[in-house]
Structure 1
């Protein structure tokens, strides 16, 4: 572990911002993580990120040795829609987990990206989730942006927090939606009984807003386009189930006896639009409707 000592000559500057000017090789997010891990001491004591430095403060930064990445690179083919030195935009296939977690330490998008990008992935989210800024569920297919540089990661995270990234999905849901379009504004949090699930939770949930419009109606199903204003876990799946139109194939929030025999929810991340976090230009990417989705549409039209 490396220890770097400073004595402050400044007054009233947040400790995380102050250290950014001193530890130029590290991002503000990384410095904030050091602070939360009590690896930054001021006059011998840990502080919070909003601590304001004072003249003659003795500041000690403890920088851990880099962890050896224990997630292995795997030669897995994933369609790449765009790539530069800062970001990579991929078309994630249905059935692929985004990053390693309990029970899924191989075959994930991260394993594939490590093989393609090597060490050129943002390390802000640690060794298990390098480059991952946002996620889509295992059985949701479609477009996803990954950060290669820390600058890109911070920029994309900021835009996500500000709801400044356009995310458009298509879905097939049970039931016939009579309205042409609608807005669901209902907070989402952990299910009060089943902690593995999310639910509309007015007591402990965070605000979640989903907009939808009808593309086509079938005998007992509706094809919709969905736009996210927020990005809560399982947001579209929870919201559509909440209003009585669960996504076809969703075994967690949908019907138990699904007559369409779909393996996983019929939900596809069709379009992603954002301002490049470093270059500043607007970019937009689309993922074509996958074959499983087309086949289900064809079956519904019969």
Structure 2
């Protein structure tokens, strides 16, 4: 028993030291990158904070990954600067911490539970970042279309209008369109560059803009009028979506409360009286009861999710 606790303490100390060194290294890298961007901004104040070159490096880094396309797409759409090596190290660190902390009997079962927990935590964090980035991009998209419409009505070609968006709009829209302009300048067709934009961003309503722009660019037509109507449509949908979220806020809060309350009470009772569930764990019905409780909890969350999340 003493040997087990000694190994646990040593592993915890090793993870703590490795995390501190990793944080120190990342902090230095971020400071260097921020200083470089500040120097570039002093030379040209119209450059966006997140340049197209940085975005291209991140995208190309994940395009080389043949396996786990869904993971690569999630990382790119979340806007994080994680490399495949950094992502692997984070999963390994979380797995090691979970292996030490999770109270699961058996080394193999505990390792599997720790790995699944690490993947779920990292996946949830990436999905949260992607949702926030998509929300910012969705708020910027009508303004992006308005900038393109005003530029087209002023007599500018579409390439100049896209370049104006790249220089005037902040992240995430500005760097994404700057990458589109770079791809077109280096020989890629406008349709392919816009398709890559839609795949890279992952915002559903962006497909309307991509389709309208590609068709009008190939067949001709009044692109400014089409995009003007699309901008009004997106603003109305965004306004309706905000109203729906306000009306369903009570249901979402009920779902959060009903999900957290059983786990919080279980942890609080174990903290106050560790022997309260002693007889329950020894009972043969403990496993079926826990499985049924988790199943009912997941079913309740699924029902609440379907009630408060629907297409606008």
**TM-score range normalised by the length of the shorter chain:** under 0.3
Which structure carries more helix by proportion?
A: 2
Which structure: larger Rg?
2
Which structure carries more strand by proportion?
A: 1
Give the alignment's TM-score, normalised by structure 2: 0.21
